[in-house]
Amino acid sequence: MTSPSRRQVLAVRIGVAHLFGLLIVGFYGTVGTSGGFGAGAFFGMFAGAIFSLPWIAAVLAIVWFRGNALDRYIIPFCILGPIVICGSWWALSGASLLDVVALSCITSSVWVLALTLFERRKMIAD
């Protein structure tokens, strides 16, 4: 059995981090409401997933075409990524929901960095 390529590992890492960012946004949207964390959090996660489709498609295209370089320079990617996404959201939609987009982007970037650190420590230990 062959090991997964760097692009596959990076795509899975970004996908897991994006899912976690959407979960945080879903819970963020229900804080202070009487609906609780059930259906409101799911709806927030689902709506965030729909709205973020163009950006996640762009990120996966970057992973597909420049996966090795992206994996090598993951820290600048995690710093510039939220800036680009929030800036493009602001340019397209204005300031509405910008706080939610920023929270999702920053959370996802932190998770990408954490998963990368965990993977690289695991590789060093082996």
Residue 36's pLDDT is 59
Whether residue 1 is contained in a domain is answered as no
Name the token pair of 54.
């163009």
Region 39-63 average pLDDT: 86
Whether residue 116 is contained in a domain is answered as yes
Region 58-77 average pLDDT: 91
pTM, two decimals, is 0.85
Region 45-63 average pLDDT: 90
Note the pLDDT tens digit of each residue in 85-107.
999 999 998 898 899 899 999 99
Region 102-119 average pLDDT: 93
Whether residue 39 is contained in a domain is answered as yes
Residue 26's pLDDT is 80
Cβ within 8 Å of residue 16, ≥6 positions away: 111, 115
Cα distance between residue 88 and residue 31, in whole Å: 26
- Number of structural domains, the chain? 1
Domain around 69:
6-125
Whether residue 96 is contained in a domain is answered as yes
Whether residue 32 is contained in a domain is answered as yes
Whether residue 86 is contained in a domain is answered as yes
Whether residue 60 is contained in a domain is answered as yes
